[in-house]
Amino acid sequence: MADTIAVLSLKGGTGKTTTVRTLADVLRQVGLDVLTVDLDPQGNLSDYFDVPRDATPTVADVLSGDAKASAAVHEGVIPSSLNLAEVERALSGKMGRELVLKKALKDVRKAYDVILVDCPPALGLLTINGLVAADHALISSEAQYFALQGTTGAIELIEQVREYYNDDLELLGVLLNIADMRTTHSRDAYAQLQENYGEKVFDAVIRSSIAYAESAEKALSILDYRPDLGQDYYALADEVLARLGREAARGALAPLLVH
């Protein structure tokens, strides 16, 4: 069964989608079969992977019951669609609405090693579905005051989902994203995360760079577009694999790490 990881941030612009894209790229490099699920109505992950806008079926069709998840996979991505927000509203009146994605992914979990779910940057039914379907949650936090507040909100949401819907859900870790560790502000933000969440904070920090926006615009992995920045994600992937207990994949990753 796949390790399913919901990647979330309750604030936009924290590098969440880039994290899903690049972590998937690294894990595929080391031989893991990875599925990504774009649960964000904005569809940024789908665009980053260059999935055609008219691709069908999509995650909206999966959630509405019109398609199996396996039929909605397009080159490793279950893409978003423009009507996903409408589907979310339609789900709100249904029994078991929090469990829809979990049930839908049952038919693909045996086919992949890792499933990464890109949740929307909002506390809503789609994000709750992502967490209920997941084994682990990874929080992306920008080195800004309000983003740190959002991390607290995300932790509270994870605890509520664990209490009411998914008692197997675990916090995989908190990632400091879009950070410039040369500045006091970013260093203080990292220290604050460590003070609040201890060993759950990843050692890896993702540097801020305009290159991420450029690579997304070109639908290129940052690993290819700016390999020096990609090293941040190799370090993150090493920690993720360690926390998942996937030592064989860590061994395959080791030659790619720059120490």
Provide φ and ψ at 133, rounded to 5°.
-80, -10
Complete DSSP assignment for 156-202: HHHHHHHHHT-TT-EEEEEEEEEE-TTSHHHHHHHHHHHHHHGGGEE
Please report which helix (H) or strand (E) contains residue 41, including its range: none
* Mean pLDDT, all residues of the chain: 93
- Residue numbers of the domain that contains 212: 3-256
SS3 state of residue 4:
strand
Q: Tens of pLDDT along 3-26?
A: 999 999 988 888 899 999 999 999
CATH number at residue 216: 3.40.50.300
- The structural domain count of the chain equals 1
Residue 57, preceding bond cis, omega within 30 degrees? yes
Does the reported pTM lie above 0.75?
yes
DSSP lists the bridge partners of residue 207 as 179
Stretch among 33-37, 117-121, 182-186 having the lowest mean pLDDT: 182-186
Apex CA 6: angle with CA 74 and CA 164, to 5°?
130
Stretch among 8-17, 219-228, 244-253 having the lowest mean pLDDT: 8-17
Q: Tens of pLDDT along 43-86?
A: 999 999 999 999 999 999 999 999 999 999 999 999 999 899 99
